[in-house]
């Protein structure tokens, strides 16, 4: 895990942005500052295999929100399918909202389970580096 509160880690993460993308560097700096002002609990490990346990620990009367971008495009197809199956299994028992892009395409997807019923929508188009998105509901 990369602890952004460590200045060396923050610098390393910042260096991953292409230098000509000055607007992305500014967004990173703002996001890093917000994170430091509002820390969250991070869990290190394989997010797909940890998801059932993390979901089990969340209050039962709350909806789960699963968000990712530019992660799943690095996953083998079998792992992507496993992630979707885990979300479906959790969604059979509680409300789940899964917002993502760059899993199969650059579209912004919102899949959700409400009362065990699955709904899948494409809600927008996205830039590959997250610089913009356009709303469009299907």
Q: pLDDT tens for residues 120-135?
A: 999 999 887 677 888 8
Residue 115 CA: distances (Å) to CA of 25, 27, 45, 93, 94: 41, 37, 29, 8, 7
Q: Does residue 60 sit in the same domain as residue 18?
A: no
| φ/ψ of residue 74, rounded to 5 | -95, -5
Question: Is 80 found in the same domain as 22?
Answer: no
Give how far Cα 112 sits from Cα of 47, 57, 100, Å.
18, 19, 11
- So what's the pLDDT on residue 1? 66
Number of domains forming the structure of the chain? 2
Q: Which structural domain, as residue segments, surrounds residue 121?
A: 47-135
Positive/negative CA dihedral, 20, 134, 104, 28: positive
pTM: 0.81
DSSP secondary-structure letter at 73? G
pLDDT in tens, the chain (138 residues): 678 888 999 999 999 998 899 998 999 999 999 999 998 888 889 999 999 999 999 999 999 999 998 888 899 999 999 999 999 999 999 999 999 998 989 899 999 999 999 999 999 998 876 778 888 855
């Amino acid at each position: 895990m990369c602890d952004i509160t460590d200045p060396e880690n923050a610098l390393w993460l910042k260096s991953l942005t292409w230098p000509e993308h000055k607007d992305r560097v500014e967004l990173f700096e703002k996001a890093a500052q917000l994170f430091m002002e509002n820390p969250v609990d991070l869990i290190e490990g394989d997010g797909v295999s940890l998801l059932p346990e993390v979901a089990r620990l969340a209050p039962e009367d709350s909806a789960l929100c699963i968000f990712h971008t530019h992660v799943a495009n690095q996953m083998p197809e079998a792992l992507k399918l496993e992630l979707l199956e885990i979300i479906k299994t959790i969604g059979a028992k509680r409300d789940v909202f899964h917002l993502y892009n760059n899993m199969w395409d650059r579209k912004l997807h919102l899949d959700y389970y409400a009362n065990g019923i699955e709904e899948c929508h494409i809600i927008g188009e996205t830039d590959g580096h997250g610089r913009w998105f356009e709303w469009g509901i299907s």
